[in-house]
Amino acid sequence: MSDQTVRQRSRSTAPTAPPLQPGLLREGARNPGMPLELDWVREVRINLSAVERRAATLGTRRSVKKAWQAAWLLKAVTCIDLTTLSGDDTPGRVRRLCAKARHPVRGDILDALGMNDGSIRVAAVCVYHQLVEAAVQALAGSGIPVAAVSAGFPHGLNPLPQRLQEIHASVEAGAREIDVVVTRGHVLTGNWEALYEEVRAFRDACGDAHLKTILATGELATLRNVARASLVCMMAGADFVKTSTGKEGVNATLPVGVAMARAVRAYAERTGYAVGFKPAGGIRTAKQSLVWLILMKEELGTGWLTPELFRFGASSLLGDIERQLEHHVTGRYSAQHRHPLA
């Protein structure tokens, strides 16, 4: 199937938006936020059937095989926030995770792919606040940032002063990225002013550390709420909008991804600032990662396929990607236990 046929079929089923115009975005500039525009938020509409149809076609209209698939999977590795958020986490587990973050794919596989030049590493390591110092020490000199889940993660229902204090503490401990969960009640009740002020306070507490706002989309009831909450968080200065904590019953889904990506696009077109997107929770296979990369490329363009603007929140995903890369090199599938996370 030719690229032209693929594009025609895409237009006939669920049209993608045209590429963002060159020069539209302030490249490399951090999103400063903007005053809350309630009219814009209230005008948001979502065509549920169209979004679901679009999401359903993402993995069926385009096929990535052989060397191209290996290249896309290596790209996926560089966009992973390698994560451990278990109740039994220990400094030793975090150190092992950080060792894997430095060398996420076995050297012999990278040698066979001609990519063993040190360029393949994960985007960040994500841990609870209590383990930030251990992760910072383990990653010293690597350039890999530590992301901390703060502000009463995963429920985000602690009093606001306590949540802000935890953000300050994570930054002081060395975290360069902060993942916070917003108050879902503000979204469900339509209290957009409260959501805006909350996220603005989070942004101020982060200082130079980048802020990822977790919407917990599985608990927001509608895609319209998801899109509205995404816009408000970006208006308040979020550097990333993130789908889920990974602790909800429903986490990252493709319809949610389409709705959030289009909100990111609308914000970029209105302001010129590119905000990142992070799906998290339930993304476990290499095949799933390819579909999410296709979503980003088709909805936002190649410019978003970088760790600065796209992340996977994942733990087991890396093991399956490494397994698929070994199959590409050797022609054989190995047992999963041959590719431990760390």
Q: Residues of the chain whose pLDDT is less than 50?
A: 1-15, 22, 342
Q: Look up 179 and say whether it is catalytic.
A: yes
Amino acid at 264: V
Q: Would you state the pLDDT for residue 340?
A: 66
| 0.85 surpassed by pTM | yes
- pLDDT for 315 equals 83
Q: Is 278 a catalytic residue?
A: yes
Catalytic residue among 81, 100, 239, 278: 278
Which residue in 81, 100, 242, 320 is the catalytic one? Answer: 242
SS3 content of the chain, % helix, strand, coil (to 5): 50, 10, 40
- Is residue 212 helix, strand or coil? strand
Q: Which of 179, 212, 239, 320 is catalytic?
A: 179
| Domains delineated in the chain | 40-330 (3.20.20.70)
Measured CA to CA, the distance from residue 253 to residue 47 in angstroms comes to: 16
